[in-house]
A and B are shown apart, each in its own frame.
Chain A
């Protein structure tokens, strides 16, 4: 394994006309780690993730994923990445099996039939493969999206609120599956989330964004200690409302 970070962001800025969405942020994610990207609405999380995936061109600064500069060199690494979000849906009229076949072909997954059977078994989807995706419950759809995201065994997995609108039991199941995947594959994950309990459980590092800038960056334990709080939710409120660390103590 190379020492180069899985993701390296350097003075990244995105300006839409006169609005600055991301303002000169820099960070690097070590391979095999799970990092939480937190911040209120409009903090710049989604724009940052979009630039990591090559969906949006930075105004200035650079993004390198697995050594490739995004978006210029994206085709050399896109097959080693994937993304899951409840806000990006799978075609509803296609069955689960059809969707997985199409995306498996797009990602060039070898021995696709066996891989689909394997991921379906892992995510408890085997009985749903012939069902139209649109007929599934929210929890089942999330599992299908996760199956699509893990189908190509990505080295870098970007997740945007992966457990939004899920019941606690299903959400817990998804988190456990993500942890297992990281442990088995050594994948690097970046999770944008508003669920502080989720971040506390999954992430060994948390990056707080506010108004396009990185407001804080530490381990969950480090943040709790420095802000003198018991939960990340309290830390989140301190950051979002602009309370100084010292004042928060």
Chain B
């Protein structure tokens, strides 16, 4: 029995566990689509209204809808990761997992896969709705979309890994971070406006965040039809750093939880 190596079977076991959970609950499935759809409709209609009022917005057709969908990829990517992790806390099942041969890397890999599955369930119908309601075809962004998606998911996973470490160490008292931490990026990553809008000192912080490059890149692609590969490469480099830091923080928090006996009581 291969107890020492990374095991795809154990990753599959965890993905299966979350899939069973997801398909057993219609409420969980509806929740995946509900907010992205509401957000997209609200911003889509706002953009339609603004396009009628100002020619600048008319030229930037699809920027708001593109921004809101990409924001949802970032936010839901992290949330999908964190919620799957939180399900173990809610189910009081973490003890069973932590005394099993499941490795942290396998657990994280399963959470990443589930974040993509949950995101696909939520976002794909919303992108189709965007075509239907507003004629905005996110899939038409082609390779650009793939680059945006990869970078946003990496950021979402990095934040999800860090939050999971916080919850492991501090219990469900830290759950609120899973729901709120990403909103810190909403103003700083310049989701709905160019970085140039920010004060100069805040622009430095904005450019330290990988999603900023993605949203700038999306605006360039949608309004100027230019794919900025340089922005995507910079985002990827920052994501590698962010992901490494988050993994190191997770491992440190897990070790701390082992020292403090926090894994014995994974409740509040």
| B12 located at the interface, meaning its Cβ lies under 8 Å from any Cβ of chain A in the complex | yes
- On chain A, the residues within 8 Å of B16 by CB distance are 98, 101-102, 105
Given the known interface contacts A55-B258, A79-B101, A93-B25, the answer about A108 and B91 at a Cβ–Cβ threshold of 8 Å is: no
Question: Is B145 in contact with chain A by the CB < 8 A criterion?
Answer: no
A90 touches B258 (CB 8 A): no
* Pair A108/B1 contact, Cβ less than 8 Å: yes
Least distance between B171 CB and chain A CB atoms (Å): 14
Residues of chain A contacted by B101 (CB below 8 angstroms): 75, 78-79, 106-108
- Which of chain A's residues 55-113 have a Cβ closer than 8 Å to chain B? 55-57, 71, 75-79, 81-83, 85, 87-95, 98, 101-103, 105-108
A75 to B4, Cβ gap below 8 A?
yes
Shortest distance in angstroms between B96's beta carbon and chain A's nearest beta carbon? 6
Question: What string of 1s and 0s marks CB contacts (under 8 Å) between B82-101 and chain A?
Answer: 00000100011101111111
Contacts of A148 in B (CB 8 A): 96
Name which of B20, B96, B101 has the most chain A CB atoms within 10 A of its CB. Answer: B96
- Measured between beta carbons, the chain A residues less than 8 angstroms from B95 are 55, 83, 85, 88
Q: Are B24 and A132 neighbours in the complex by a CB distance under 8 Å?
A: yes
A25 at the B interface (CB under 8 A): no
A-B contact count (CB 8 A): 110
B21–A93 CB distance below 8 A: yes
Q: Are B9 and A108 in contact (CB under 8 A)?
A: yes
Interface residues on B, range: 35 or more
B21 & A57 in contact (Cβ 8 Å cutoff): no
Most buried by A among B2, B14, B24: B24
* Contact flag A55-B263 (CB < 8 Å), given A78-B3, A105-B12, A108-B3: yes
Check A98–B20 contact: CB distance below 8 A.
yes
Within 8 A of B (CB), among A1-55: 14, 16, 21, 46-47, 50, 53-55
Residues of chain B contacted by A79 (CB below 8 angstroms): 1, 3, 101
Across the interface, do A50 and B261 meet the contact criterion of CB distance under 8 Å? yes
Smallest CB separation, A15 vs chain B (Å): 10
Query: Which interface residue of A46, A75, A108 has the most chain B CB atoms within 10 A?
Result: A108
Closest chain B CB from A65 CB (angstroms): 11
B102 proximal to A (CB < 8 A): yes
| Contact across chains for A78 and B100 when beta carbons are under 8 A apart | yes
Q: How far is the CB of A91 from chain B (nearest CB, A)?
A: 5
Closest chain A residue, CB of each to CB of B94: A88
CA–CA, A91 and B97, complex, Å: 11
Q: How far is the CA of A102 from the CA of B92 in the complex (A)?
A: 16
Q: Which residues of A contact B97 (CB under 8 A)?
A: 106
Q: Which residues of A contact B20 (CB under 8 A)?
A: 93-95, 98, 102
Shortest Cβ distance from A112 into chain B, in angstroms?
Answer: 10
How many angstroms between the C-alpha atoms of A135 and B264 in the bound complex?
25
Residues of A within 8 A of B251 (CB): none
The answer to whether B255 has its CB under 8 Å from any CB of chain A is yes
Contact of A55 among B1, B87, B98 (CB under 8 A): B98
**A56 and B92: CB pair below 8 A?**
no
Query: How many angstroms between the C-alpha atoms of A47 and B263 in the bound complex?
Result: 11
| Inter-subunit contact A57/B255 (CB<8 Å) | yes
- State whether B13 touches A89 (Cβ < 8 A): no
Q: What mask results when residues 4 to 15 of chain B are scored 1 for a CB within 8 Å of chain A, else 0?
A: 100101101110
Residue in chain B with minimal CB distance to A84: B96
Chain B residues within an 8 Å CB radius of A101: 13, 16
> Is B17 part of the contact surface with A, judged by Cβ < 8 Å?
yes
Assess whether B261 is in contact with A16, with CB atoms less than 8 Å apart.
yes
Give me 16 A-to-B residue pairs in the complex whose CB atoms sit less than 8 angstroms apart, sorted by A's number: A47-B261, A54-B99, A54-B258, A55-B99, A56-B259, A89-B91, A93-B24, A93-B25, A98-B17, A105-B12, A106-B14, A106-B101, A107-B100, A108-B9, A132-B24, A148-B96
**Could you list which residues of chain A lie within 8 angstroms of chain B, going by C-beta atoms?**
14, 16, 21, 46-47, 50, 53-57, 71, 75-79, 81-83, 85, 87-95, 98, 101-103, 105-108, 132, 148
Q: A85-B95, A90-B91, A92-B91 are in contact. List 12 more A-B contacts (CB 8 A).
A: A47-B261, A56-B264, A79-B1, A88-B95, A89-B91, A89-B92, A91-B93, A102-B17, A103-B13, A105-B10, A105-B12, A106-B101
